[in-house]
């Protein structure tokens, strides 16, 4: 067993924790919407047709912001089709996923669902097959005060008060040749500039997300961000990043180190954004919206052209293992380590499609393995993110070279005295003894150590055995200001410590 010697100090702060990092994503794709979040005939359905059992799991998951309605879907979407009386809504062909879209869920339905669950919406607009005029009308429909035609149309559909959506994605993956209306960097930069200018004229407080590269392997990566931001810099607040991870060719060692790719991706985009700011002699800091990320076994997906047009098909319903959950936990750690520049992030997707939640039409809903690190991190990460450093053994990977065996971060809430350590052992074969120096925090006690680990790294949760993989107690001790924890190979950990309860113990 190796040993990692790390140190935390409450004064070494990366930045306040951005709660929007714990975002998710709902796209009209597969069964994410229909028989996912929405199923009017389900026994748990509410008066609006949304599944109550799924809503309970979404609240437990801790999703803070949800992106909608896509994704590739949005680039061929007419938002007008999804508002008004359901019986009057048209059925359309969705060219992105070659499906039949009934439009029984649309803008008002989704925003109402978010409002009832206390979730912030993040809306994407179609800049593939549509453009400036449609974007302006959509934002007015959701956000304008009553008294004008578009806003009054919303009122006629049952919502008088504005929805007040703050965050808007200016299209989706516009660099991708798979996208309806894909564009060159120059074409998209001009469009993002003109749409951004118009929307800021309507409401300068809107937060606008420009499309960045669809992934770090795109041939235009870096140049795309530079060209787009050079043109749209004054009108956008965030630039997107998307990444999906899987064990390519069975390379589990590199898969476990996927956080390394995400880390480099974020750093590269930040460097490009700050270069543009420097050229423009601006103090503005464009933030990274990592609004699509997850484990996705894309090598198993035959591709959109192979699909027949079908309503409500099963699509990319990946089932996740312990190994996958550990990787998801490490990606969340990576996002938190960049809390000073990652403004929000959305795990894709929420239900049934590469998702932490699975459902059966008319039947149960259950938590996948990847649900647990997300839910526990969202529940217990509070305050500020701390910088962590020390002497860490390395693991060899084919994709990224030598990487740290232990990948970790911590949050500190000085008001409550809550210190939470998140750590992953990224070795496939070797356990690690973690020695974490916490002496700078004074008196602490261990409140809880939860771990996601199983000797069977391929173990999954199923309909018949939904609790096969759950967080279990880990092994930690605290002595002389040092936290000593055992981290088995392929394991994720949430270690909660408390200063407040020690400080307020009454005298005997």
CATH of the domain at 46: 3.20.20.80
Question: Quick check: is 375 in a domain?
Answer: yes
- Write the pLDDT tens digit of every residue in 167-197: 999 999 999 999 999 999 999 999 999 999 9
pLDDT band for position 504 (cuts 50, 70, 90)? very low
Q: In terms of domains, do 401 and 295 share one?
A: no
- Write the pLDDT tens digit of every residue in 115-163: 999 999 999 999 999 999 999 999 999 999 999 999 999 999 999 999 9
Question: Quick check: is 508 in a domain?
Answer: no
Surface-to-core class of residue 303, CB atoms within 10 Å of its CB (0-12 exposed, 13-18 middle, 19+ buried): exposed
Percent of the chain with pLDDT over 90: 96
Q: Do 280 and 287 touch, CB atoms closer than 8 A?
A: no
- Write the pLDDT tens digit of every residue in 76-127: 999 999 999 999 999 999 999 999 999 999 999 999 999 999 999 999 999 9
Beta strand pairing call for 167-170 and 207-210:
parallel
49 pLDDT more than 80: yes
Instruction: Return the CATH number at 470.
Output: 2.60.40.1180
- Write the pLDDT tens digit of every residue in 413-465: 999 999 999 999 999 999 999 999 999 999 999 999 999 999 999 999 999 99
List, in sequence order, every beta strand (DSSP E) within 129-280: 167-170, 207-210, 238-245
Please confirm, yes or no, whether 292 is among the known catalytic residues.
yes
Among 380, 415, 438, the domain boundary falls at: 380
Give the range of the structural domain holding residue 178, as residue numbers without chain letter: 18-380
- Write the pLDDT tens digit of every residue in 474-486: 999 999 999 999 9
Q: In terms of domains, do 371 and 408 share one?
A: no
Q: Which of 39, 193, 246, 292 is catalytic?
A: 292
Please confirm, yes or no, whether 173 is among the known catalytic residues.
yes
| pTM of the complete model | 0.96
Across residues 23-31, what is the average pLDDT?
Answer: 98
Q: In terms of domains, do 172 and 238 share one?
A: yes
Q: In terms of domains, do 83 and 95 share one?
A: yes
Across residues 295-324, what is the average pLDDT?
Answer: 93
Beta strand pairing call for 287-295 and 238-245:
parallel
Q: Could you give the CA distance from residue 304 to residue 387 in angstroms, rounded to a whole number?
A: 42
Domain tally, the chain: 2
Q: In terms of domains, do 389 and 321 share one?
A: no
Q: Which of 39, 173, 246, 260 is catalytic?
A: 173
Across residues 267-277, what is the average pLDDT?
Answer: 98
């Amino acid at each position: 067993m190796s040993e990692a010697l790390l140190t935390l100090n409450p004064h070494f702060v990366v930045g306040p924790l951005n709660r929007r990092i714990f975002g998710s994503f709902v796209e009209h794709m597969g069964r994410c919407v229909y028989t996912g979040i929405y199923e009017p005939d389900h026994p748990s359905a509410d008066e609006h047709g949304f599944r109550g059992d799924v809503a309970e799991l979404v609240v437990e998951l801790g999703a803070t912001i949800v992106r909608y309605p896509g994704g590739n879907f949005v680039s061929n979407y007419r938002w007008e089709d999804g508002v008004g009386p359901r019986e009057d809504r048209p059925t359309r062909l969705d060219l992105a996923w070659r499906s039949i879209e009934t439009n029984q869920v649309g803008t008002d339905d989704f925003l109402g669902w978010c409002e009832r669950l206390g979730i912030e919406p993040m809306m994407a607009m179609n800049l593939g097959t549509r453009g400036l005029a449609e974007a302006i009308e959509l934002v007015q429909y959701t956000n304008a005060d009553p008294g004008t035609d578009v806003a009054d149309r919303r009122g006629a559909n049952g919502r008088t008060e504005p929805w007040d959506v703050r965050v808007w994605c200016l299209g989706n993956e516009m660099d991708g040749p798979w996208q309806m209306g894909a564009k060159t960097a120059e074409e998209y930069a001009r469009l993002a500039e003109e749409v951004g200018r118009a929307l800021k004229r309507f409401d300068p407080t809107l937060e606008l997300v420009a499309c960045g590269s669809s992934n770090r392997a795109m041939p235009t990566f870096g140049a795309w961000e530079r060209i787009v931001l050079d043109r749209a810099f004054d009108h956008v607040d965030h630039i997107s990043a998307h990444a999906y991870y899987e064990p390519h060719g069975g390379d589990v060692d590199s898969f476990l180190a996927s956080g390394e790719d995400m880390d480099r991706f974020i750093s590269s985009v930040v460097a490009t954004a700050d270069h543009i700011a420097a050229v423009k002699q601006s103090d503005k800091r464009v933030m990274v919206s990592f609004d699509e990320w997850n484990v996705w076994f894309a090598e198993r997906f035959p591709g959109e052209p192979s699909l027949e047009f079908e309503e409500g098909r099963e699509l990319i319903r990946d089932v996740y293992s312990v190994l996958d959950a550990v990787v998801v936990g490490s990606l969340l750690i990576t996002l938190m380590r960049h809390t000073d520049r990652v403004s929000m992030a959305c795990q894709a997707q929420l239900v049934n499609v590469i998702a932490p939640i699975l459902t059966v039409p008319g039947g149960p809903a259950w938590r996948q393995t990847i649900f647990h690190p997300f839910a526990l991190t969202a529940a217990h990460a509070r305050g500020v993110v701390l910088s962590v450093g020390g002497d860490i053994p390395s693991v060899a990977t084919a994709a990224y070279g030598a990487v740290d065996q232990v990948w970790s971060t911590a949050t500190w809430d000085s008001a409550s005295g809550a210190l939470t350590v998140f750590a992953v052992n990224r070795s496939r074969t070797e356990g690690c003894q973690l020695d974490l120096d916490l002496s700078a925090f004074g008196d602490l006690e261990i409140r809880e150590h939860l771990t996601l680990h199983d000797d069977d790294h391929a173990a999954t949760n199923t309909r018949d055995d939904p609790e096969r993989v759950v967080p279990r107690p880990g092994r930690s001790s605290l002595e002389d200001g040092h936290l000593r924890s055992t981290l088995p190979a392929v394991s994720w950990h949430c270690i909660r410590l408390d200063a407040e309860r020690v400080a307020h113990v009454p005298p005997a």
